[in-house]
Amino acid sequence: MDAALGITSPKWLAIADTLVMVFSGRDASLTAFDAYTNIDLWTRTTELATPEVVGEGTVRLSLPPSDTDRIDMGVVPSFQYSERQARLRIGFGRQRHGIRHYAVSDCLIVGIDDDGLATLELSHLRVE
């Protein structure tokens, strides 16, 4: 019925340079993300430390803005890739401490600290 009336769920875009995360619905949950990036600019490593997962959860905006649909994260993300582990770590900002990691799915772990989103960890990733 909502679609027939042209009513859609609210959607917000969190933008960090060329990475865009889409949050939608009444609970402002992460539904997608995309990064326009060049693998030649990624830091390649043989091994990324496996984060200690402390729980499971959903990524949500704590306070979605009411006056806009876009949030500038004010940071250029860093990309670290381990081909051997098939893992990509996307970092947001400087070296961060006190990061707590939560499993969002079998291939996404999110790192959160007191300042908010710190890392996205993607596994089972093959780059060709």
Inter-CA distances, 127 with 11, 26, 39, 88, 124, Å: 29, 34, 9, 10, 10
Per-residue confidence (pLDDT) for residue 1, from 0 to 100: 46
Residue in the block written with tokens 């060709």: 128
Residue in the block written with tokens 């402002």: 28
Residue pair 59/25 in contact by the 8 Å Cβ criterion? no
Per-residue confidence (pLDDT) for residue 66, from 0 to 100: 81
Neighbours of 42 (CB within 10 A): 16
| 103 vs 1, more confident | 103
The rounded mean pLDDT for the chain is: 89
pLDDT of residue 3 exceeding 80, the answer is no
Average pLDDT over every residue of 17-34: 92
| 84 vs 38, more confident | 84
User: Which residues on adjacent β-strands are paired with residue 12?
Assistant: 23
Per-residue confidence (pLDDT) for residue 115, from 0 to 100: 87
Cα distance between residue 109 and residue 100, in whole Å? 10
Cα distance between residue 20 and residue 35, in whole Å? 6
Average pLDDT over every residue of 74-85: 94
- pTM beyond 0.85: the answer is yes
pLDDT digits (tens, 9 = 90+) for 49-71: 999 999 999 999 888 888 888 99
Nearest residue to 116 (alpha-carbon basis) of 88, 86, 68, 75: 75
